[in-house]
Chains A and B, each alone.
Chain A
Amino acid sequence: MARVAAPLRGAAQRFALGFLLLAAFGLMFLGKSDTHFVERMRTAVTDVATPILEAMAQPVAAVNRTIAYLGELAVLREENARLREENQRLRSWHAAALRLDAENKSLREILNYRGPDRNTFVSARVVADGHGPFVKSKLVNIGSRDGIEKGQAAVTQLGLVGRVTELGERSARILMITDLNSRIPVLVEENRARAILAGDNSERPQLVFLPQGTKLRPGQRIVTSGHGGALPHGIPVGVVSSVDDNGSVRVRPFVDWERLEYTQIIDYEIEAVPLSSPTSRSRGAFAPRPAAAPSGQEDR
C-alpha cells in the first residue's frame, strides 16, 4: 500500500508546490491592482500577530532598558553637567517664548486670526520592525478600534516618523519617511520653499520638486507643509544634510530610528469653525482618551 502511495504523494506534492507558487505570484500581481483585498489579508495577519509580538517584545524591552540604564550610569556626571548647561540655555528660551506668546496673542487679537488647526493624538507602541533590505516601516499596536485612520501622521517628540499606510483593527503599519514609497509635502522653514520629501530606502531622503533657483544650504530645517491636507502643518522633519552640485538635496531626519519605541498618531482635521473648548469633539472615539492633547502638536 505504502509503496504505491509514496510516488503518488510525491506527484501530489509537486503539483501542490507548482499551484502554490502560481498563487503566490498571483497575490503579488493582485497586490498591485486590488490593494484592498491584499491589505485585508495582511492586516488579518498583523492583527493576530500584534498581541503575540507585544508579549515577545517584553523581555527584549527589559534587556534594552537594562543596557540603557547601565550606559546612563557610566556617563551620569557628564550628562548632568550637560543638562545643567542646557537648562540654563532653555531658561532664557523659556523667557523668550513667554514674551513671544504674549505678543503673538495680542497680535492675533488684532488680526482676528482663528489659530492653528487642532489635533489630537493616540500613542502607539512599536511592536515590530518592517524588515528586509527593501522595506522601511513599523508595525504599531493600535488600529481602527483606537480611532486612527489611514494617512495620518506618526510623530515622536523629535519629529515626523511617517504615515499610517495600512490599518487593521488592532494593528497599523507606519511607512517611514525613508521608505522608497514615501512622499511627504514639506517646506524649508527659512525661505518657505515647497518641496516633496522622497524616501529612497537610504538614511537620508531626498528633496525633490524644489522651485527652480531655490538656494539651500546644510543645516536648514525642513517641516511638513500641510499641503494636501492629510498632515498638519509645521511638524519638524529634519535638516538639510547635503546639497550636491547637480542640485540633489538630502535631508537628515530628526527621529532617532534606533530608539523608536513609541510614536503618536496625530488625528488631524482642518476645522472650519473655531472650537470654544478643545476637548468638545464630535469624534467619540477620542473623548475618553487621557492622551488627547488640547492643541497643536507643532507648538513644541
Chain B
Amino acid sequence: MAQTSSSPSPLQDAWQLFDPAEGWNLKWAGHLLRRVGFGPTWPELQKALSQGPQKTVDSLFQPVPEAEAFNAQMDQWDSSATTLPALRAWQLRRMLETPQPLVEKMTLFWQSHLALGNVRNVPPPLIRDYLRTIRRHALGRLDQLLQAVVLQPAMLLSHGAEANRKARPSEHFAHVLLEHFTVGPGAFTEKDVQETARALTGRFVLRDELRFIEREYDDGPKTLFGQTGPIGAEELFSLLARQPATAKAIARKLYRFFISEAEEPAEALLQPLAERLIQGQTIGQVVETMVRSKCFFSPAAYRRRVKGPVEWALGLLRPMETLVPTEPLGHALVELGQALGEPPTPAGWSDGAHWITPALLLLRGKWAQQFWASGSPFGQKLDPVGLAQRHGASAPSAQAEFLLQLYLQGDMPAEMRNKLLRESQSAGRQTSADALRRLCQTLALLPEFQLV
C-alpha cells in the first residue's frame, strides 16, 4: 500500500507547499496527473515519479514550447467542424493529444461553470469560438475570462440574450450571470439583476457576430454592489470579478474540482484562495497554489471526487498511448450524460454522486465493454498486450500487474488485486490478449476507478 501524507491540520497549513519527504510515490503521481489531466500514460507517471511533485507541477504550469503549434494545428483542423458532434470529436482529440493537459482540463471546468444555455439554435462555429475563447483565458485573469466568454455570441444566443435592448434588458441572462457565473445564489438582489441587465444593453448578436449598438445602450447611472456610476459591460465584469462573493464561489468550485467534493470546505480554507483572486492573481496561480499544497497531497483530497464521464472515458483510453475514434467517443459521452458543448442547465453538469447513479453505472459497464471489445472501433485501436510489452512486461502475469499499476497505481484492496490477477491468469480458453481486455473492462468498473 502506498504511503500517504498526513491530513492538513490546522487549516492555515493547508495551502503550504507539500514536502515530498512526507511520501512521494506512484500513487501521488497518479493523483496529481489525474486531477490536472486526463488519465496519465505510463511514461508520464514514471517521469513524475522521478521528478518529484514540485518539478512535475512546474512542468504542468510552465508554457510548453510545442503547445502553440499544437493548438494552431488543432484550430485549423476543427475549423471544418460544422456540427456539434464533430466539434465534440475535435475537443476530445485535443484532450487526448495536448501537450498542456491542464489547459484542456480547465477548459472543461469553465465549459461547465460558464455554461451555454439551449444550443439548439446556436451555429456550431459559434460554439467553437466560445471554446477557443475559454481555452485562451482558462488560466488567465478572472475578469478577462468573464468579459471574453460571457459576451461570446454562442453564450448570448444560447441564453436568449441576443438582443439586449435599452427598453427591454435581458434580466434572465443577468440572473444567470449573477447566480451561476459569478456571485452565486443569495449574494445579489433583484435590483442587482436589473442593473446588471442594464449594463449589458446595446449588445446584439446579428448574423453570428456580436455588435454594439450605441443607441440601444442604457448609459444612465447604475448602482451595483454599492458602486454607482455609468457602469458598462467592461466595468461590470471587473466589478463582478472583484466581488468577494464571486471569488469565494469560484474558489469553492475550484476546490470541488481539484481537492474534494466529498464535504463542504470550511470558509477559512477557501478564504486564502478567494483573496488571491480578489487581489488579481490569475486562475492559473490559484490552481497552482492548490496542487502544490499539503491539502492536495492528503487523504482529504485523494479519491475524494467522482470522475465525470469525460474523465472516466479518457482515463481508460489515454493511458493506452494510442489515438481512438473521438467521434463515436463523443456519442458515448452523450449517452453517459456529458454532452460536450451542451451542458444540461446554466449550472453546468452536476457532479459527485450524480455521475454514478445505477442507470449511469450500467451505461459505464456497457461502454467499458464497447471500448475493449476487440472488434469495436475502439478495441481495434487498443492493444493492452502490446503496451505492456513496450513497457517491459512480457509475461501475462506481469502484464496484468502492469495494468493495475497503470490504471490504479496498484492502490486497491489486496483481496481484490489478488482476485483480479488470479482471474486474468486462469482465463480458460481465452488468449492472454482477451484476458487483459477483460481485466481492463473490470478495472473500469471498480469503485476505485470511478474516483479521481
Asked if A pairs with B, the answer is no
Binding site for B on A (CB under 8 A): none
Binding site for A on B (CB under 8 A): none
